[in-house]
Structure 1
């Protein structure tokens, strides 16, 4: 498959502080990657750097062969990045429907498809963002990212703090998007055993360095390796 994302010897962080140290990563179109590691390993920083909201120090980030390393976040977004940050960043004073359509771009994902995936959002389409539960806000954040019709979906701790029934609902939706439709994705998640079945490959970060890479199935089948890298 054609290569979608290539990161080579990436060094980045916040201000003068360097969090990522010469990170290498490749992702083909239609493939998905679980990005794992203990707290503070640099997972969020890597996603933030792909989006363009950290301090770039060295290395390259290529999206569809184009070097975007020095582009601002505003110039990267139209190139096909759909981002769901930990904070969700929904517009709390806008309705659900306004949130979904405010930044939408033409493509296969529209209101009908998002509402079909998340019926709760259709039921609450006239509610303001600040009137939603945490789980509904996460669904809205995912739906808004899909309405961008991205080439790659970046999800940062999508299951964090959610009730088990909402976790199951969100996982089913992500499975349909990533596994069923083959949308390229990078998923950061503490619940490794929940996300590994959804993804093709896995990378583990430790102190900003890639310390493990393999297929997701291989790591899932090796509990001792998983515990060695992720246990506190």
Structure 2
């Protein structure tokens, strides 16, 4: 496998406020990374910094062999970054199909393939974003990220706030995307065990630093890691 993402000494935050205190890690193409930690430890800030929407105070980011540290978010998308933020950021005044078409880039993830992954979106293709349920909006957010045909998919708490049956449906789709289709991903999720089953590697953040890293198998086998960093029963 070839290196897909390399982060070196990354320091970032919002304005003068620093959240990330100097992170370094790398990912290989085809890998899935679980990003774990309690609320407020820097997980979303890391995702946002990879996208390019925070204030960087130091360090570098390389994506697909290119230094994207100073590049605008749209340039990072062009290099293969797909993003599903917590806020979803769908166009509520556009239809499902318009949402997908507005961001589409050439590649294997076309409308038909996205609809095959999310049949509900095909059924609601003429509905406005504002007319969708929360689960359907999240499916649309993932579909929009796939429509740019990314090499790396960033998912920030994709199951948050969803009804259990909808969360399971979406989790199954994400599993197919990363396992059957081999798309690399970084996934943030509070219910760590669910995501570790999909991941190859995991890192745990605390106060803007990586405090633990390893294979997902090792994390699942060692419950003390959950007790120390994530809380019992995760």
* TM score, norm. by length of structure 2: 0.97
Give the total of aligned pairs: 232
Give the alignment of 1:34-49 within 5 angstroms.
Answer: 34-49=34-49
Match of 2:230 in 1: 230
Structure 1 stretches (4+) deviating beyond 6 angstroms?
none
How far residue 179 of structure 1 moved from its aligned partner, in angstroms, is 1.2
Could you tell me whether the CA contact under 8 Å between 1:179 and 1:199 is conserved in 2?
no
The alignment's C-alpha RMSD in Å is: 0.9
List runs of 5+ in structure 1 lacking aligned partners.
Answer: none
3-state SS in 2 of match to 1:198: coil
Match of 2:154 in 1: 154
Whether 2:36 is the aligned partner of 1:60: answer no
Distance 2:101 2:221 in 1: 41
Match of 1:90 in 2: 90
Could you tell me whether the CA contact under 8 Å between 1:92 and 1:130 is conserved in 2?
yes
* TM score, norm. by length of structure 1: 0.98
Distance 2:112 2:155 in 1: 22
Distance 1:194 1:139 in 2: 18
How far residue 71 of structure 1 moved from its aligned partner, in angstroms, is 1.1
Q: Deviations over 1:97-156 (max 9, x none)?
A: 100111100100011111111111111110000000000000000011001100100000
Distance 2:114 2:45 in 1: 28
3-state SS in 2 of match to 1:126: coil
How far residue 168 of structure 1 moved from its aligned partner, in angstroms, is 0.8
How far residue 74 of structure 1 moved from its aligned partner, in angstroms, is 2.2
Q: Deviations over 1:175-221 (max 9, x none)?
A: 11111121110000101011110110000000000000000111011
Match of 2:205 in 1: 205
List runs of 5+ in structure 2 lacking aligned partners.
Answer: none
3-state SS in 2 of match to 1:213: strand
Distance 1:29 1:53 in 2: 24
Match of 1:120 in 2: 120
